A = this chain, B = another copy of it.
């Protein structure tokens, strides 16, 4: 509460003036009085750094001190806080953040890859130099997911955390469901609309969601998580036919990042999932994100909102700045982590669950007997089986869907390997995990 009595400005150096950087400057200017009242002191941008000095960004930065080299912000004695909005796990962004922390300067960043890959090192640097590192904007954009998990649920032992963490994938899956169009067509439309990048792989292959899940899991379980131990699948193989089967079965397809702590250890994966149509997560459509957390005492919390975009991201970045101005900061993973190595998730094969398996099989007698024999031999018990008749004669293959009872990942993978080796099966089997959500 003492910070409110201070009225000297908190002076900011912003690196990166893309959509988010320009958004932060716009917000700081639009809400200057409000922020000053809430933070107890003005928030003032004194210096910026970006690649192109002359580009029109919709905000006037001509009066601000300019650095061509972002790392120079650290050495500017007028810069109290470094705001890193460059992005990327390596290069300029990493150099800048590490240098600022070493210099004892608080850092605010929106950089999910950096935190996911170097969360252990950064936590140590932050603790050793007593320099707060805040990153609310790194997960789920404007949704205060990090604050919710690290502070709002700080009293409870969390069992599970995750959710819909990538708006591009959620948009594509929503449009596929609503229009019946296939993945490639909807991706193309999303690119034209600006909802997907020209190179969409970080989003559609699940990496972006995995970065965010790695961070959420670290916060929930109080220890940085090894990014390379998180199992990651994307949505490229989800077909229009899967959307149609999912509907018939009473589910919706969502790309979920889910981390849970069990007696065996941490499970953490990003995979397409079937979620019951009536579940709260199933209702979160389009570009929206949602974060769920489950604790022993609190039960289940879900928070949803806009997971990207200049406005929501600027809101999260600036909320971190208000926290710094108020003197309310916290160790990176919610506990002092100087000595904690990253926690490794268990291999996916050690998990269990119920599965949707979609095969493309020849439409002739005996095929189903061969496949069900494999399932029996692998100890995988079948809950239901659905088949669509061939829609035309151009292919001898028809889709066949198997829904299993709860079984081990290892047994399911064994069965899928054997099924994919059958000559009557074309393509590899599409596996979608079934979640109660």
Whether B295 lies near A315 (C-beta < 8 A) is yes
Report the nearest B residue to A318, measured CB to CB: B155
Q: Report B-chain residues with C-beta under 8 Å of the C-beta of A327.
A: 327
Interface residues of A in 29-48 (CB under 8 A from B): 30-31, 34-35, 37-40
Residue-wise interface mask of A (308-340) relative to B, using a CB-CB cutoff of 8 A (1 in contact, 0 not)? 010110111111011100111111001110000
Q: A38-B335, A222-B37 are in contact. Are A280 and B304 (CB under 8 A)?
A: yes
| A423 CB to nearest chain B CB (Å) | 46
Report the nearest B residue to A303, measured CB to CB: B303
Q: Report B-chain residues with C-beta under 8 Å of the C-beta of A309.
A: 299
Complex Cα spacing A328 to B317, Å: 18
Q: Check A342 for interface membership: any CB of B closer than 8 A.
A: no
Whether B37 lies near A335 (C-beta < 8 A) is yes
| A221 CB to nearest chain B CB (Å) | 10
Whether B151 lies near A148 (C-beta < 8 A) is no
Q: Check A143 for interface membership: any CB of B closer than 8 A.
A: yes
Whether A142 lies near B34 (C-beta < 8 A) is no
Residue-wise interface mask of A (16-34) relative to B, using a CB-CB cutoff of 8 A (1 in contact, 0 not)? 0000000100010011001
The 8 Å CB contact of A222, one of B38, B156, B302, is B38
Whether B155 lies near A151 (C-beta < 8 A) is no
Q: Check A248 for interface membership: any CB of B closer than 8 A.
A: no
Report the nearest B residue to A40, measured CB to CB: B336
Number of interface residues of A (CB under 8 A): 66
Complex Cα spacing A176 to B330, Å: 45
Q: Report B-chain residues with C-beta under 8 Å of the C-beta of A319.
A: 151-156
Q: Check A4 for interface membership: any CB of B closer than 8 A.
A: yes
Q: A142-B299, A298-B315 are in contact. Are A148 and B155 (CB under 8 A)?
A: no
Complex Cα spacing A334 to B3, Å: 12
Residue-wise interface mask of A (407-418) relative to B, using a CB-CB cutoff of 8 A (1 in contact, 0 not)? 000000000000
Q: Check A181 for interface membership: any CB of B closer than 8 A.
A: no
Complex Cα spacing A319 to B295, Å: 13
| A132 CB to nearest chain B CB (Å) | 6
| A411 CB to nearest chain B CB (Å) | 35
The 8 Å CB contact of A322, one of B136, B147, B155, is B155
Q: Report B-chain residues with C-beta under 8 Å of the C-beta of A144.
A: 147-148, 151-153, 301
Q: Check A65 for interface membership: any CB of B closer than 8 A.
A: no
Complex Cα spacing A155 to B26, Å: 12
| A268 CB to nearest chain B CB (Å) | 20
Residue-wise interface mask of A (63-96) relative to B, using a CB-CB cutoff of 8 A (1 in contact, 0 not)? 0000000000000000000000000000000000
Whether A27 lies near B297 (C-beta < 8 A) is yes
Q: Check A300 for interface membership: any CB of B closer than 8 A.
A: yes
Q: Check A51 for interface membership: any CB of B closer than 8 A.
A: no
Whether B306 lies near A299 (C-beta < 8 A) is yes
| A392 CB to nearest chain B CB (Å) | 35
Interface residues of A in 378-437 (CB under 8 A from B): none
Whether A298 lies near B305 (C-beta < 8 A) is yes
Whether B155 lies near A35 (C-beta < 8 A) is yes
Complex Cα spacing A315 to B154, Å: 8
Whether A142 lies near B336 (C-beta < 8 A) is no
Q: Check A264 for interface membership: any CB of B closer than 8 A.
A: no
The 8 Å CB contact of A155, one of B4, B40, B297, B321, is B321
Q: Report B-chain residues with C-beta under 8 Å of the C-beta of A38.
A: 154, 222, 334-335
A and B contact pairs by CB, cutoff 8 A, 22 listed: A1-B127, A1-B132, A27-B155, A30-B296, A30-B297, A31-B157, A34-B222, A37-B335, A147-B152, A152-B319, A154-B322, A154-B323, A155-B316, A156-B319, A297-B314, A298-B305, A298-B306, A298-B312, A299-B311, A302-B305, A303-B303, A326-B330
Residues of A within 8 A of B (CB): 1-2, 4, 23, 27, 30-31, 34-35, 37-40, 127, 130, 132, 136, 142-144, 147-148, 151-157, 222, 280, 283-284, 295-306, 309, 311-312, 314-319, 321-323, 326-331, 334-336
